[in-house]
Chain A
Amino acid sequence: MNTVRGYHTLKDKGNASQIELNGPIKCILPSRAWLGLGYYFWDTEIKWAHQWGVQYGEYLIFEALLRIDGTTFDLFGNVSHINEFLECIKIIMAQKPKDSQEVLVPEVIEYIKAHTKFETIYNSIRCADYPNSASIIRFRKDKPEETYLGGSRVQHCLLNKNNIVSQSFKVVYPENL
């Protein structure tokens, strides 16, 4: 079993100690839940948690140890899972009318959560995006399609709290709390 440090950002409502006891808080706002509904943690890099927190003005960051094991649907580090998810996207795209709206990642996730045994198999999803195009580097000049995707920003969406190591959830920002 592998563990990583995860960072969970919330707006500071003056209730850090309460959240430390009962947290994390589930994201139920579809406008922000890019991996579907769940408990969100940035993987390893606390700076991503700070960057996310800026939108709130005053914010809190909580740290936890997150398990990465067979119950993690790992779209960052597991080739089988990546390919399986791509297959799910293709299946759904083939099913929906051609002229309908585009398919979004969180929609595919919520659909498979609702209509397969996904949630009985997996406790969490790990995924990355590549917000910095400067970190997309070619391997060869003559083959632009062969690119190295650096600068990944990795996040966990926990479907439940099972993959949080017990007693590891604690506030780390602001430091004086």
Chain B
Amino acid sequence: MKNSIANQLRDHLASITKEEFAIEWAQVKSLGFVGPSAEGFVCSWNSSYSSLINKVVEPPKELAASTIKIPIKLTPDYRGLSFFSILAL
């Protein structure tokens, strides 16, 4: 649709510079949301989790220095495991 929200968003972004977008985005970030991530949302609505299935998970940077990096391919069978429970294995 010509006047869809996505197209309005495209038009808006085409009318501003990267620097202006960075300022606008920082304003949204400053609201302090901690809700579910868009990535998780995308995966859910894809009815698949395909983007998670082949994702390599690495430890958070602050832990990486004191732990061994274990790249893990998530499969649907591992979906319920958190990073720390995988590490415990």
In Å, the complex CA distance between A129 and B45 comes to 9
User: Does B2 have its Cβ within 8 Å of any Cβ on chain A?
Assistant: no
Chain A residues within an 8 Å CB radius of B18: 95
Q: Is the CB of B33 within 8 A of A101?
A: no
User: Does B71 have its Cβ within 8 Å of any Cβ on chain A?
Assistant: no
Write the chain B residue with the least CB distance to A79.
Answer: B45
Which residue of the partner chain, among A34, A111, A146, contacts B47 with CB atoms under 8 Å? Answer: A146
In Å, the complex CA distance between A177 and B45 comes to 40
Q: Is the CB of A149 within 8 A of B44?
A: yes
Q: Is the CB of B44 within 8 A of A130?
A: yes
Interface residue tally for chain A (C-beta within 8 Å): 49
Say how far B28's CB is from chain A's closest CB, in angstroms. 5
Chain B residues within an 8 Å CB radius of A110: 28, 31, 33
B26-41 near A? 1/0 per residue, CB < 8 Å: 0111011111111101
Write the chain B residue with the least CB distance to A34.
Answer: B35
Write the chain B residue with the least CB distance to A127.
Answer: B41
User: Does A107 have its Cβ within 8 Å of any Cβ on chain B?
Assistant: yes
Number of A-B contacts (CB under 8 A): 123
Q: Is the CB of B5 within 8 A of A88?
A: yes
Q: Is the CB of A102 within 8 A of B37?
A: yes
User: Does B61 have its Cβ within 8 Å of any Cβ on chain A?
Assistant: no
In Å, the complex CA distance between A6 and B13 comes to 36
Q: Is the CB of B47 within 8 A of A30?
A: no
Q: Is the CB of B6 within 8 A of A147?
A: no
Which residue of the partner chain, among A30, A75, A88, A92, contacts B33 with CB atoms under 8 Å? Answer: A30
Known interface pairs A30-B33, A103-B37, A105-B36; 6 further A-B residue pairs with C-beta atoms within 8 A, sorted by A's residue number = A95-B13, A110-B33, A114-B24, A114-B28, A115-B12, A145-B49
| Partner-B contacts on A (CB < 8 A) | 30-31, 33-36, 75, 82, 84-89, 91-93, 95-97, 100-108, 110-112, 114-118, 121, 129-130, 133, 136, 138, 144-149
